[in-house]
Amino acid sequence: MKTSTTLKNIALATLLGAAFTTVVVAQVGPGPGMGTGPSMQGTGPGAMRGMRFDKTNTPGWTLMTAQERAANQAKMRAVKTYEECKLVQTEQHAAMEARAKEKGVTLLTPRQNACDRMKARGFIQ
């Protein structure tokens, strides 16, 4: 009886240890997006280390399909000048304003302007 309880406790401890190890191994350490290594947006031409275009900084993000989001990200990563960035941004904002109006929702205003941040970080001229 005591041996059976001991074996159960060992099995339980092993199982819990394996579960916790899996959680720790699954967590991402420093790397993409953490200031070291390649950016999550890629390493090819037009890749911008540390720049993310997502629901926190792209008005209308939740109103776009996954394909539209990818296209918007690609356009923003492809710009070379501040003026080009502002043009892409203005067109996207106008399209999302129209879509938001159709759906009766209000677009959130991002805390920072992506073009200003890209210029400040040296991604665009």
Q: Per residue in 54-98, pLDDT tens?
A: 777 788 999 999 999 999 999 999 999 999 999 999 999 999 999
Work out whether the CA dihedral 108, 75, 38, 67 comes out positive or negative.
Answer: positive
In a domain, 49, yes or no: yes
Consecutive H or E run containing 73? helix 66-78
Q: Are 76 and 86 in contact (CB under 8 A)?
A: no
In a domain, 125, yes or no: no
| pLDDT (0 to 100) of residue 14 | 73
- The pLDDT confidence band at residue 121, using thresholds 50, 70 and 90, is very high
In a domain, 107, yes or no: yes
In a domain, 101, yes or no: yes
Residue 46 structural domain: 2-120
In a domain, 85, yes or no: yes
Q: How many domains does the chain have?
A: 1
| pLDDT (0 to 100) of residue 18 | 65
Q: What residues pair up with 39 in beta bridges, in sequence order?
A: 42
Q: Are 100 and 92 in contact (CB under 8 A)?
A: no
pLDDT tens digits along 4-56: 777 777 776 676 666 666 554 455 444 444 444 344 444 444 455 557 777 77
In a domain, 96, yes or no: yes
Q: What residues pair up with 42 in beta bridges, in sequence order?
A: 39
Q: Are 88 and 76 in contact (CB under 8 A)?
A: yes
In a domain, 41, yes or no: yes
| pLDDT (0 to 100) of residue 122 | 93
Q: What is the rounded distance in angstroms from the CA atom of residue 125 to the CA atom of residue 113?
A: 15
Ramachandran class of 122: left when φ > 0, alpha when ψ lies in -120 to 50, beta otherwise: left
